[in-house]
Amino acid sequence: MAADDLDEFESSEPARGGQFGPYYLHELINRGGMADIWLATNPKGEAVAVRRLHEGSGLHFLAKRRFVRGCEILSQIHNHEYVIGYVEHGKISGTLYLVMEYVEGSNLKQLFARGDPLLAENIGNILIDMALALEHVHDSGFMHLDFKPENILVTHNASLRLVDFDLAQPRPEKPKKMWKNPGTPAYMAPEQLLRQPIDHRADIFAYGVAAYEVLTNQKPFAGDTPKEILEKQLDRTLGFSAPRELNADIPAALERTIIKCLERDMERRYPHMSILVRDLQAALYV
């Protein structure tokens, strides 16, 4: 869940399973600041994932609006192999909910944190599939705006799903200043942290941060506050290391691709995900 101004609304109520409308909630998969995700079954006995907005969040207009917007956007773009599948969304007994494809696996952050061999054995395909998922989001007319390893699920056979579209926005024709500026600071582009107009290239920067982190097990611009992160983004002498300095196994062409994603000036980044995908495939010989 995004580290934003809704964290204060995390519910203190215990999570309870059981019957929820036509679905039966079996096991709590994840408890975030705004919603819970459950392993559930539908009336046919098929496994699904049910995401429910916390009761406290439901009283907050912004939380409610983001949740519903994320559901609506997912309903428009889920027809892609690397985006989580959408079933339905609505309200049951006053609680907003989203039903999605159930994916058994771990998120990308969990994989590299524990050094899972699944990641090492499939890193090239995972990096490309991440980019293909983001390319589909952009081609569908949206920006994700919370692209990070926690929002990328990887199955036991290394199939990938992009999740969590609560912060997504329509992709503007030209950079646009956002009314609110939520997100996860470590993955936000300089223009986001400076609250300047943004476009889909903010996602391309976030992709670069995620790829750098997966390959090196470090963030390119570490910091405890958005101010510290921004200072390092704007002044690379404060600690930024080229990926190959931390992991010599990274191909030089892949390093160049990641660094181009991380350009502080959006005009110097990749203009479109399709060009990034092309360079990734060339660098990784896929």
The position carrying tokens 């992009």 is 162
**Cα separation, 168 vs 116, whole angstroms:** 30
Contacts of 275 (CB under 8 A, 6+ apart): none
Decide if 214 contacts 108 (C-beta within 8 A). yes
Decide if 24 contacts 41 (C-beta within 8 A). yes
Q: Which of 4, 36, 129, 146 is catalytic?
A: 146
Both structure tokens of 70: 């994320």
What is the residue type of 248? A
Decide if 249 contacts 165 (C-beta within 8 A). no
**Cα separation, 249 vs 263, whole angstroms:** 22
Decide if 126 contacts 83 (C-beta within 8 A). no
- Identify whether 164 is a catalytic site residue: no
**Cα separation, 1 vs 31, whole angstroms:** 9
245 C-beta neighbours (distance < 10 Å), count: 11
Question: End-to-end distance of the chain based on CA atoms, in angstroms?
Answer: 32
| Positions marked active-site | 146
